[in-house]
Amino acid sequence: MRVAFVSFRTSHHEATAGTRRFERIARLLVRRGHDVTLFCDQWWGGDTVDSFTEDGLEYRRVSVGGRPSFRLGLPFALARHRPDIVHARPSPPQLRSVRWGAWLARAPLVADWFGDEGTSRAFGGRSARRPDQLVVPSQLVWTRARERGADSDQLAVVPESIGFDRVAAVEPDPDIDLVYAHPLDEHATLDQFLLALAELRRRGWEAAVIGDGPRREAYEEMAAELQIADRVSFLGSCDRARRLAVYRGAHTFVQTAARELFATELLWALAAGCVGIVEYQAESSAHELVESYPRSFRVTDPQELADAITDAGDMERLTREESWQSYDHEAVIDRYLGIYQRLL
């Protein structure tokens, strides 16, 4: 299948969850043997180099640092390419030029809206209805898309994916009981976890915080004030192997972040066998992952969180949970291919 991916900005311009997801999908399709080209603004050097291939994915230049030229050139670039499917991000420039390009190429249009694209109010109403299929990562983003005017029968939820085989490829770190992972920014809400731990200071536990950011120092000071600093390790921004080692060794993963369009670290931790404890947050989709999962708890405040940590101690300690294999990269890419086949 010949697939044209379209994104003005790529992960080389801005490494967001949305750009990483978009390019991961493209690379997984390449790995399946499909012909995939990503049309974008140029991010590589060389005025005479029209395209650049990285990890098997071809990035093709439409413009060099200019949204107007991207909007003007894209329909003709897609028409010349003649893809079977056009798969785009609805980030500026808006979907009108993508829609024209797909029409000229006589190809269905799939838009992948992660929710962090910085789309303006222009993405709504008719604009939100331009794609033949609008893919979102969670029910939270599905609701936001409906609020912007997308039709429910046009929407599809396709979650983030993980490399499930990687879970068993690392040795568990046996020194951690409880783990939290999120950038330590304004959305971290780590104080909820620290307050719960303070309630349990007389019990035996060791906790780890994975992530870095502008609020790290404040949270470290809070742990010291609560007299639990010697039992809470701030590990910083760990790579995937280190995170998996901690998740496999830990008993429980605690999710309190105020904003999660998709709770990817929670997913990795659940696949690594952790019991999941999720605090309800209006701007977070994390609870969606554990709504029907028996090894989980949903809480609303630090006291309920402390009680859930205590109750979780009665559950078996695991280092991998097979039921999360349905979120493996290969299973999720099958869902995208199913969308393509239905549109064709």
Tell the burial category of 154 from Cβ atoms under 10 Å away from its Cβ (0-12, 13-18, 19+).
middle
pLDDT of residue 115: 86
Q: Average model confidence (pLDDT) for the chain?
A: 93
Asked whether residue 131 falls in the same domain as residue 266, the answer is no
**Does the pLDDT value for residue 124 go beyond 70?**
no
Same domain, 225 and 137: no
Sign of CA dihedral 278, 282, 288, 289: negative
133/215 same-domain check: no
Residue 91: what residue type?
Answer: S
Instruction: Quick: pLDDT tens for 38-74.
Output: 999 998 887 777 888 988 899 999 988 778 899 999 9
Are residue 20 and residue 150 in the same domain, yes or no? yes
| Alpha carbon 75 to chain centroid, angstroms | 29
- 135 and 171, same domain (yes or no): no
Q: Examine the pLDDT at 119 and tell me if it is beyond 70.
A: no
pLDDT at position 1 is 95
Residue 280 sits at the vertex; the CA angle it makes with 90 and 124, to the nearest 5 degrees, is: 20
Verify that 91 and 219 share a domain, yes or no: no
Per-residue confidence (pLDDT) for residue 31, from 0 to 100: 96
Supply 333's token pair.
């890419």
What is the per-residue pLDDT across 290-329, written as a single tens digit (0 to 9) for each?
Answer: 999 999 999 999 999 999 999 999 999 999 999 999 999 9
What CATH number does the domain containing 118 carry? Answer: 3.40.50.2000
User: Does the structure show a pLDDT above 90 at 91?
Assistant: no
**144 and 268 part of one domain:** no
What is the rounded CA–CA span in Å between residue 276 and residue 167?
A: 16
Residues 170 and 140 in one domain: no
State the burial class of residue 106 (Cβ atoms within 10 Å of its Cβ: 0-12, 13-18, 19+): exposed
Instruction: Give the total number of structural domains in the chain.
Output: 2
Closest CA to 274 of 245, 240, 301: 245
Residue 120 has pLDDT above 60, yes or no: no
Q: Please name the residue that has the structure tokens 């230049």.
A: 61
Q: Are residues 23 and 143 in the same domain?
A: yes
Span 22-42, mean pLDDT?
96
Containing domain of residue 280, as a range? Answer: 164-325
Same domain, 66 and 178: no
pLDDT at 282 over 80: yes
Using one digit for the tens of pLDDT, what is the confidence trace for 2-14?
999 999 989 888 8
For the segment 326-339, what is each residue's pLDDT rounded down to a tens digit?
Answer: 999 999 999 999 99
| Reported pTM | 0.94
- Residue 138 and residue 208 share a domain: no
For residue 121, is pLDDT > 60? Answer: no
Q: Note whether 125 and 246 are same-domain residues.
A: no
